[in-house]
Chain A
Amino acid sequence: MTAPLLTASDLRAGYGGDDIVNGVSLSVVPGEIFTIIGPNGSGKSTLIKVLAGIVPVRKGTIALFGKDVTEFKAPQRIGEGMAYVPQEFNVFRNMTIAENLKLSTEFLGLRGRAGYLERQRVLDLFPDIASRQNLLAGNLSGGQRQMLAFACALISSPDILLLDEPSAGLSPKLVIEIFDKVKAVNALGTTVIMVEQNVAMALPYSDRALILVNGSVRYQSDATALRERGDLHELFLRES
């Protein structure tokens, strides 16, 4: 087995009072699509925010390529090869597509020509948004917005991409399109961790899956093995 790209051990985090993420350990190997599923309110979204550096860790550690990044905030983790696409509100709606893209390079030390080249490289992947750069991002359709969010995240050439519910609020046809894009990005060498509510659609695209219930890991396995198990429903609902 290859050395893990990202390892988290015994993570605890939350807002205000009690911990929402309750001692989660996981490790993700290079090149895979690792999907976190679980019932509503299980802490999936908080977990991925912790991994991204948005929500601070209370206990436990996160390592990227063996380097401890637990204390790094989101902007610093980008420098370590991580990118994160939040759920739904993932573009700046009051800015144009061009401004959104520009903003994604400006603070990575990619100014002027270097930034332009990076933007062109990513736009080649997303021809749909490349053609209408002066449009306000707030006026984009759900699918296009998701594409723009991907594009902005990929500008930093991340080794690992964190996606929070990429299919949220999209029609089934668009969901397939989005997951195809995830697969394409993955095929180019980017490891993906995603949180998904839409288990049936997400599992076929995943290599491995983790079930989170009440903030702790309920089950972890190969995605195909999980699909073949009939008791998924029970895994979700059984109280620990």
Chain B
Amino acid sequence: MIGYLTTIMTLVSIAVLIAMALNVQWGMCGMVNFGLSGFVALGAYTTAILMLNGTGVFMAVAAAIVICSVMGALLSLISLRLSDDYLAIVTLGFGEVIRLITLNEDWLTGGALGLPGIPRPLVDYIGTDHYEKFYLAVCVLVVLLIFIGLELATRAPFGRALRAIRDDEVVAASLGKNVLLMRVKAFAIGGGITGIAGSLQAFQFSYIDPSQFSAIMTVYAFMAVIAGGRGSHSGLILGACSIMVLLEATRFLKDVVNILDNSQIAAIRLILIGGGLILLLIYRPQGLIREYRATAPAAPKNVPHDRKE
């Protein structure tokens, strides 16, 4: 049971990281990223391939961060002059391209079989007995560091400017070129965080394959961001955790209802994820934890509304 909990909590930490990346891009800046799973995969494969070729942990993770940031910057540049709808499509397309590459380039990514035997950092010192707990601690630490970094950035002029861009197109227009640059920066920062998430994922099972990076990852991140209240990093952690608990609970569904087979249970979980996302958007656009957000400095004054025309 402890082992199960440790694993779940590690996975939650990684999911929180991905949601944080989305929170910078979408929550703070209003830019949709439907290719999150592609970014995480890019980070994970970068780390894995480098590690398997004997690079050090630090280099492997740094490379994942850099590559994902650059990719984020490039994608936002393509759709810089376009409305957010196009960015959604461009990122979705990017995610698909990454998926196809991981599936088809056997020489590099191992294809559908994936890459096994990724060395886990410091395993010789920690030993395998307590490694899972150690790794959980590392993940939680990373989440905390990034959380603090984002909180600071949110309060800094950069964060205020990002929210101003999101909430008020007049302000955005008067800032002119700066806006474009800041949007690119926000997307690059989000990309970098997904790179870290990818690295952590690669070390977690010391094995990766394309099926780990499905679109579920993306939809889950959207749910977490909405549940936590867009733009609020602390709300997001609570939101992500509570949703994960709810979803994990559905795993036990098959003990109760035994007429359903495994794939049906999986389908029901996914229906719940998609339906939950829609319900949150309709009934709780300001986040699940309203009281909390009232004191959160990052909270935008109004629920973002129609800004077209």
Contact = CB atoms under 8 A, between A and B. Distances in A.
Question: A contacts B directly in the complex (CB < 8 Å)?
Answer: yes
A110 to B, nearest CB: 30
Contacts of A16: 302, 305-306
A17 B301 CA distance: 8
A17 B306 CA distance: 11
A107 interface: no
B169 to A, nearest CB: 12
Contacts of B302: 16-17
What 8 pairs between A and B have smallest CB-CB spacing?
A16-B305, A17-B302, A16-B302, A17-B301, A15-B305, A16-B306, A15-B306, A17-B305
Interface string A1-45: 000000000000001110000000000000000000000000000
A17 B302 CA distance: 6
A240 B306 CA distance: 30
Interface string B292-309: 000000000110011000
A15 B168 CA distance: 13
Given A16-B306, A17-B302, 6 more contacts: A15-B305, A15-B306, A16-B302, A16-B305, A17-B301, A17-B305
Interface string B33-55: 00000000000000000000000
Interface residues of B, number: 4
Q: How large is the interface on A (under 10, 10 to 19, 20 to 34, 35 or more residues)?
A: under 10
Contacts of B306: 15-16
A16 B301 CA distance: 11
Contacts of B305: 15-17
A1 to B, nearest CB: 40
A15 B305 CA distance: 8
Contacts of B301: 17
Interface in A154-200: none
A84 B178 CA distance: 40
Interface string B253-282: 000000000000000000000000000000
A23 B95 CA distance: 51
A16 B168 CA distance: 12
A16 B169 CA distance: 14
Contacts of A17: 301-302, 305
A133 B306 CA distance: 36
Interface string B66-103: 00000000000000000000000000000000000000
A16 B306 CA distance: 8
A130 B306 CA distance: 39
Nearest to A89: B309
A17 B305 CA distance: 9
A221 B60 CA distance: 76
A16 B302 CA distance: 8
Nearest to B302: A17
Nearest to A18: B302
A33 to B, nearest CB: 29
Nearest to B304: A16
A17 B304 CA distance: 9
A122 B152 CA distance: 64
Nearest to B305: A16
Interface string A108-129: 0000000000000000000000
A58 B13 CA distance: 44
A104 to B, nearest CB: 22
8 contacts: A15-B305, A15-B306, A16-B302, A16-B305, A16-B306, A17-B301, A17-B302, A17-B305
A141 B305 CA distance: 35
Contacts of A15: 305-306
A1 B143 CA distance: 73
B168 to A, nearest CB: 10
B290 to A, nearest CB: 17
Interface in B191-205: none
B143 to A, nearest CB: 33
A16 B305 CA distance: 6
Nearest to B307: A16
A66 to B, nearest CB: 34
Nearest to A17: B302
A192 B109 CA distance: 72
Interface in B12-43: none
B47 to A, nearest CB: 43
B304 to A, nearest CB: 8
B198 to A, nearest CB: 37
B231 to A, nearest CB: 16
A15 B302 CA distance: 11
B299 to A, nearest CB: 14
Nearest to A15: B305
